[in-house]
A and B are shown apart, each in its own frame.
Chain A
C-alpha cells in the first residue's frame, strides 16, 4: 500500500488525481452519511464549523504563536450578530449576505480590542488574559437582558432565520437532479464551500510575507523586531484575522441551530478548539482540520456505539455508557499526546524543530 502511494507521488498528474478523488468523495459524502442517518450529516456540519474555528485559531496559535484561550468569544460575537439581525427578537430580518460582513467586522473589531492590551504579554500570561476576555464576553451576553434587553440573557434568542440564498431555503428539503436534498445536506455544501475558502486564504497567507513574519515572531519576537518586522501590527493582524473567521463560523452556527444562548460559548468550548489545533498539529492547516474532525466525531461516535457494544459484550450495561464515553475520550487525549507530542499531523517546521530538540 505504502509503496503504491510512494510511486504515485512521483507522477506529475498525481496531485490532480488525488484532488479529484477527494472532491468526488466530499460531494458524495452527505448522501452516504444520510443513508446512515441524518444525525451524521448534522454531526458533519458541526465538525466543519469546528474545522473553520480551528483553522481560524491556528492563525493566532499556530502561525503567530500567541496562545488564545478565549477564542470562542469571536464565535459568540458572530453568532449573536446574526441572531440579533435575523430574528423576531428585534424584529429585524436582514439577509445573510448583509449580515456576514457585519458579523465578520464586529468580530474583527473585538479581535483588535482584545489584542491591543495584550501585546506586551507573553506565553501563559497572554493565555490567561485571553481566557478572561472570553469569559467577560460570555458574562455580558448572559446579563445584557437588563436594564435594557439586548441579548435576552440566559434565555437565549430563538427562531433565528435559517439561511436563504437565491430563493433556496436551507431549512427545508428540496430536490435537485432527482436527488433529495434535506436541510442539513444543503448546509453541508454551503459550509464546505466556506471552509474551502477559509483554507485557501490561510494557505496563501502562510506562504506570504505576512505568514513568514508571523513565523518569525513565533520563533523569536525580539529577533523579529530587530529584523524590522512591525510586531505590533502583525500580532494585531493575526488576532483580527483569527477573529474574523471565528465570527463567520458563528454566524453560520446561528443560522443552522436557529437558537443561540450563552451556554454554547463557555470556556470549555475555547479549550476544545485549542485542543483541536494542538492535537491535529499546530501550524499545519490540514492537521488542524484533522484534529477538528476527530474531536467532533469521536465523542458522537462513542455516544451511539458504547451502549450497544457493551450490551453485546456483557449482555447488559455494566458501567454507564456516558461515563465510558468520557473515559475513552480522556484516555485518547493523553495517549495521542504521549505518542505524538507534536500533534497527529505537524507542520514541516514543527517536525524539524521536534527532531532537533530530541537529538541534542
Chain B
C-alpha cells in the first residue's frame, strides 16, 4: 500500500465513523438537535466559547429536568460548530446545520457572519428558527426573515442609551468617539455619535484602531490634545482594556464609556486601577439582578464566570425549548409561530419579540466600575432612565403584586 492509499483509508474510516454515530440516543428517547455556532478559534474565541457554554448549560439543564414533547421523552443534543468569525465559513456551517436537520440554532456571534448565515436558515425547508444572543447590528432583523430572532439589544437601542446617559449625567461639552473598525464597533459608535450630536454635544472626528490594536497611545495622544470631557469606545474587551489603561497613563482625565463588548469583569484585570469609574452599557438587565441561579449554575458547570453574552445564549436555547414545549413539537414549522408570540422570563429578564424578531422594549443597563466590580447604576427602558435601586424596588413590588393576584 502506498502512502496515499493509507491516507485515503484513514479518511474513509473517519468519514464512516462520522456518519455512523448519527443519533442513537440511549433509552429510546427522541433526539432533538439544537445547533450552536460561534467563533471558537481566532481573536474572539473566548467570547465564542462563552456563547457555546450558555447554550450548552440550558440544554443540559433541560435534559436533567426531563422534557416531554408529543408524549415522548426528549433528549436534547447540542451540536457546536466553529464559524471562525468568517462570513464564508459561517454560511458553510449554517448549511451543515440545515443538512443535519437541527430543530433550531443559537448563534452566530458576529453580525457580519450572522447576516449571510441567516439567509441560509431562512432558505431551508421549512425555515429553521435562529436566535442570536450577541449580533447587535439592526440590519439582521430588517431583512424580513420570519425565522430570525435576537434576544440582545440592537445597536440603535444600546447606542442611544449609553449616549443619553452620558449626556445627562456627565454633561460633556466635547466627546471623542473611537471604534475598532469592525461591524460591531463602528455600528455602535455611529449610533452614539448620532445621539450625542442630536443632544448638542460636540463630537470630535472619529478615531479608529483595529480589533487587534493593543497600542492606542498615538490615537489617545491626539485625543488628549483636544481635551474631551468624555471618551466613548466601541469595541471588545481585549482592545478596550489596553485603551483604558493607556488613556489614564497619558493623563487623560475624561470619563471613559464602553459598549457591551467591553462591559466585562475582565476589564478590571485588563485595565487595572484605570478601570475605576468606567461607564459601560449592556443590553438586557444585569444577570446579578435577574438570575443568580444562572450565574451559580454556569460557574459550577464550567469553573469560570460567564464572560459576556452567555446569559443571552442561555436564554436563546431555553426559548427554543420553551416554544417546542408549547407547540408540543420540535418541528420548526410547528413551533415557529409559538416562538414568535412567546412571553418568557429568563436570565436576562422578560423576553417578548416584536414583529421583526427583535426583543420588544429591551432594557439596557448602565454599569460603572467601582473598586474592581461592575455595579449596575441605571436601567433604561422605553427611553426612560430609572436608577437601579428604584428599578429593583419596582420589580420586586411588581413581583409581589403578581403573586398577590394569583
Contacts and interface: CB of A to CB of B under 8 A. Distances in A.
Contacts, number: 100
A143 B208 contact: yes
Given A37-B99, A153-B186, A322-B41, A263 B112 contact: yes
A125 interface: no
Interface residues of B, number: 40
B196 to A, nearest CB: 16
Interface in A97-152: 142-143, 145-146
Interface string B207-251: 010000000000000000000000000000000000000000000
Given A37-B99, A304-B18, A320-B40, A156 B92 contact: no
A39 B88 CA distance: 12
A154 B14 contact: no
Interface residues of A, number: 37
Contacts of B26: none
Interface in A302-360: 303-305, 308-309, 311-312, 320, 322-323, 325-326
Given A257-B88, A312-B17, A38 B99 contact: yes
A159 interface: yes
A150 B264 CA distance: 34
A46 B111 CA distance: 22
Interface string B75-114: 0000001100111100111011011100000000001100
B162 to A, nearest CB: 20
Contacts of A46: 88, 92
Contacts of B119: 258-259
A158 B183 CA distance: 13
A317 B66 CA distance: 24
A179 to B, nearest CB: 17
B48 to A, nearest CB: 9
A232 interface: no
A192 interface: no
Contacts of A325: 82
A29 interface: no
Interface string B157-196: 0000000000000000000000001110111000000000
A210 interface: no
Nearest to B14: A305
A43 B182 contact: no
A311 B92 contact: no
Contacts of B14: 301, 305, 309
Contacts of B82: 303, 322, 325
Contact of B87 (A38, A257, A312): A257
Interface of A: 37-39, 42-43, 46, 142-143, 145-146, 153-156, 158-159, 183, 257-259, 261, 263-264, 300-301, 303-305, 308-309, 311-312, 320, 322-323, 325-326
Nearest 3 pairs of A and B residues by beta carbon: A37-B99, A259-B116, A305-B18
